[in-house]
Amino acid sequence: MAAVTFIPANPSVEDCWRGIILYGQNSASYKFALAESLLQLNPQAGQLVKLEDVAPVFGRAIAAHISHSPKQGTRPGKFLQSVQSYNTDGNLDALVKATVASGFQDVIDAFHNIGTSTVLHKFFIDERKTNKGIRITDEFSKLAEGIQVANITQEVDSRWRLVETAWNLGISANHLVVQHDHELGEIFTFDSAKRRKAVTSSRGALNGYQKGRCFYCAADLRLLGEEFNTDVDHFFPHKLKQSNLHLNLDGVWNLVLSCQSCNRGPRGKFDRIPSLRLLERLHLRNEFLIGSHHPLRETLMNQTGNTTEKRVGFLSKIYQEVQLNPQTAWEPELISLGNFL
């Protein structure tokens, strides 16, 4: 099971955007707020967007999250204090002034960075020194006009909620457990007082790591609206709970997003065991999750192993125990060979 990086050599604009949201540095939530603001404002290619025009959307987005998750970064600062004041007094002018003055200082510089690298496709050009704003690129317009844009908006919100949960619970990362409620379709955890805390939609949390595609056939997924077609599927089916494997089949490691046709269509998977090459794809998807930290990384490592070798062994051992006849292994009629890359 060879390692594959999330962003391929010739990435799409969606690859680069998802790389920023899922793998960019998380010392504060400003990256999510800027992403959410741009998607909401939907400026056109070539348009200059003044900081004063972004500031109300940006500031109120952070204010909304502070209202339920006060810790929005690893280091508190004056700007976050200004946002908290807005939640108390509702003074939008003061919020906009504080946001323009200090809310964008680092996030615009670092938005396109992943580690020590910069993504190939940029979504804006920094013109703060000359025009007090940012200029939108063709790449952002292509992203906003693509069929994935509704999913991408939900992915930003889900990622933000996952990261802020890790910051706010006050639980060691090694003890933080993220779980899935199949009936509600949500990811949840427990706080230090053992109270259940809903975190985010399971579909929104998982979709980006599959690049908006069905885990099995790579068809485009729709998370919302009339064209909704997305199921949360157990790779190893629920029926195995009747066995003596003592597995947490509701763990994130075993959950994938599937189009409804693959999951329960005329030739769907239902409760069958998928093929070995789909098992390899599950390992790849889990490695994508582990690479992005906070807090799915810790949950997956606790469930499947703290090294790549252990995680490969974990999946292989299960597969050997449950797939007694490889000839009956399930695959979709049309299988993607590209690991949804």
Mean pLDDT confidence for 85-89: 97
| Percent of the chain whose pLDDT exceeds 70 | 95
Helix (H) or strand (E) holding 93: helix 92-98
pLDDT of residue 4: 54
Shared domain for 125 and 164, answered yes or no, is no
pLDDT of residue 244: 79
220 lies in a domain?
yes
Residue 135 is classified by DSSP as: E
User: pLDDT higher for 306 or 75?
Assistant: 306
Count of residues in the chain: 341
pLDDT of residue 2: 39
Q: Is the pLDDT of residue 33 over 70?
A: yes
Closest CA to 68 of 54, 84, 53: 84
Q: CA separation (Å) from 127 to 20, 47, 77, 136, 193?
A: 20, 11, 25, 10, 47
User: pLDDT higher for 340 or 53?
Assistant: 53
Q: Is the pLDDT of residue 339 over 60?
A: no
277 lies in a domain?
yes
Shared domain for 108 and 250, answered yes or no, is no
Mean pLDDT confidence for 264-277: 93
Q: CA separation (Å) from 149 to 26, 224, 272?
A: 22, 11, 33
pLDDT of residue 109: 96
**Least confident window among 135-149, 175-189, 248-262, 263-277:** 175-189
Mean pLDDT confidence for 257-279: 94
106 lies in a domain?
yes
32 lies in a domain?
yes
What's the CA dihedral at 248, 171, 64, 207 to 10 degrees?
A: -30
**How far apart, in whole angstroms, are the C-alpha atoms of residue 148 and residue 339?**
18
3 lies in a domain?
no
Mean pLDDT confidence for 203-221: 95
**CA angle, 64 then 297 then 243, to 5°:** 115
Mean pLDDT confidence for 282-293: 92
Shared domain for 224 and 80, answered yes or no, is no
Proportion of the chain in helix, strand, coil states, percent, rounded to 5: 50, 15, 40
Shared domain for 128 and 234, answered yes or no, is no
Mean pLDDT confidence for 313-321: 95
Mean pLDDT confidence for 226-234: 94
Shared domain for 181 and 302, answered yes or no, is yes
Shared domain for 180 and 321, answered yes or no, is yes
pLDDT tens by residue, 147-197: 999 999 999 999 999 999 888 887 666 667 788 998 999 999 988 788 898
Q: Is the pLDDT of residue 229 over 80?
A: yes
pLDDT category at 292 given cuts 50, 70, 90 is confident
pLDDT of residue 27: 79
User: pLDDT higher for 76 or 225?
Assistant: 225
pLDDT of residue 76: 77
Q: Per the structure, how many domains does the chain have?
A: 2
Shared domain for 195 and 290, answered yes or no, is yes
Residue where a domain terminates, one of 145, 168, 189 = 145
pLDDT of residue 30: 96
Mean pLDDT confidence for 300-325: 92
Q: Is the pLDDT of residue 269 over 90?
A: yes
122 lies in a domain?
yes
**Cβ distance 187 to 202 under 8 Å?**
yes
Shared domain for 118 and 250, answered yes or no, is no
pLDDT of residue 301: 92
59 lies in a domain?
yes
Residue where a domain terminates, one of 112, 145, 178 = 145
Mean pLDDT confidence for 56-79: 92
Shared domain for 101 and 224, answered yes or no, is no
Amino acid (1-letter code) at residue 248: N
Mean pLDDT score across all residues of the chain: 91
Q: Is the pLDDT of residue 3 over 50?
A: no
**Cβ distance 290 to 304 under 8 Å?**
no
pLDDT of residue 336: 62
User: 243: Cβ–Cβ under 8 A, 6 or more apart, which residues?
Assistant: 322
User: 334: Cβ–Cβ under 8 A, 6 or more apart, which residues?
Assistant: 217
Shared domain for 187 and 86, answered yes or no, is no
- Provide the domain limits for residue 206: 158-328
Residue where a domain terminates, one of 145, 179, 211 = 145
153 lies in a domain?
no
3-state SS of 220-237 is: ECCCCCCCCCEEEEECCC
Closest CA to 214 of 230, 198, 199: 230
Mean pLDDT confidence for 95-109: 96
**How far apart, in whole angstroms, are the C-alpha atoms of residue 159 and residue 305?**
23
Shared domain for 76 and 181, answered yes or no, is no
Mean pLDDT confidence for 61-83: 92
3-state SS of 25-89 is: CCCECHHHHHHHHHHHHCCCCCCEEEHHHHHHHHHHHHHHHHCCCCCCECCCCHHHHHHHHHHHH
User: pLDDT higher for 105 or 242?
Assistant: 105
**Cβ distance 177 to 190 under 8 Å?**
yes
Shared domain for 140 and 176, answered yes or no, is no
